[in-house]
Amino acid sequence: MDRRTFLKRSLAGAGVVAGLGPLATRTWAEGKPEGGPSKQGVLKLGSQEGRIPGKSLREKVLRLAEWGGVGLEVGGNPRNRIKQIQEAIKGTKVKVSALCWGSAGGALVSPDKDRRNKGIEAMKSALETAGELGSTGVIFVPCFHRQSKLKPDELDKILLDILPAIGEFAQKCRSRVLLEPLNRRETFYIKTLGHAARICQQLNHPGLCMMGDFYHMGIEEKDDEAAFVAGGRWVHHVHLASRTRKLPGQDERSFVAGFRGLKRIGYQDYCSLECGIKRGTKPEEAIPASFRFLEKQWAEAKI
């Protein structure tokens, strides 16, 4: 399939899946000149801090760097660890990728205004931290199961209402919100990159973006490549895990189609391990082996 045919098909497909009108599709296409992505996609590997063995954060960072990792993903809002994190990455190629923040118990989409405002304040504080750490963004899940009784279209409306001001704040902090779609076992709400992309397109703000997680995508997406293409310029973080949510390469899950999608959109941000490890394997051997596996899959992803 040539690129033009692929693009046409995947845009049409993404439009159907996400329920996009022609306007939204045009917005995406405007950002991507004919003839390929404006930048060549890059594979910048990294990991959540908890996945890397080490007695101290510095030890973890040095190990990650030795294995070729360049992105450190930190959990929650590490407001009181900013200095420690900066010290830990000092003098290495490792930078802070995303903050894995979460849902604040669904507070930001709560019908209770006080609760919602508290959630928004917590998100703003995380965005400030993200900016100070030079992080790519704050990972945000509007709600997991049992965190909201509202319907998806009601939740869409709340996001469209609250996110513009948060996006402005994020931009001031030099960071962004990263909407994360999850699989149906974890949420009834945003499950596909197409849905997240539709919200980003409607908001159309550089402070309001999204990500993709290969584990959830393996359950929810029919086509990893088309899913990342649907996310397009809004995709600014990726989580890596195998089908069984172990290290990439520890089961049959292929990353090639997804990597083709990332190359098609000229992806520039991090791909970060968020996964367990196969029983009986040691992280000191299995993580670098997984990185080498991913580099091979990246090379196999031809566009």
Binding residues for Mg ion (CB under 5 A): 213, 239, 274
Return the bridge partners of 139, or none: 100, 178
Cα 19 to chain centroid distance, Å, stands at 21
Nearer to Mg ion, 37 or 71 (CB): 71
Neighbours of 300 (CB within 10 A): 12
- We find the least distance from the C-beta atom of residue 182 to Mg ion, in angstroms, to be 7
Length of the chain: 303
Q: 153: which residues sit within 8 A by CB, 6+ positions away?
A: none
Cα 32 to Cα 165, 230, 233, 297, distances in angstroms: 27, 12, 8, 25
- We find the least distance from the C-beta atom of residue 213 to Mg ion, in angstroms, to be 4
Nearer to Mg ion, 32 or 191 (CB): 191
Structure tokens at 101: 């923040």
Nearer to Mg ion, 20 or 138 (CB): 138
- We find the least distance from the C-beta atom of residue 139 to Mg ion, in angstroms, to be 7
- We find the least distance from the C-beta atom of residue 178 to Mg ion, in angstroms, to be 10
Within 150-205, strands assigned E span 177-179
Amino acid present at 86: Q
Nearer to Mg ion, 213 or 269 (CB): 213
- We find the least distance from the C-beta atom of residue 251 to Mg ion, in angstroms, to be 17
- The values of phi and psi at residue 140, to 5°, are -130, 125
Nearer to Mg ion, 36 or 105 (CB): 105
Nearer to Mg ion, 28 or 214 (CB): 214
Distance CA(45)–CA(167), nearest Å, equals 27
Cα 113 to chain centroid distance, Å, stands at 28
Nearer to Mg ion, 54 or 75 (CB): 75
- We find the least distance from the C-beta atom of residue 141 to Mg ion, in angstroms, to be 9
- We find the least distance from the C-beta atom of residue 239 to Mg ion, in angstroms, to be 4
Burial 144-182 (b: 16+ CB within 10 A, else e): beebbebeeeebbebbeebbeebbebbbebebbbbbbbb
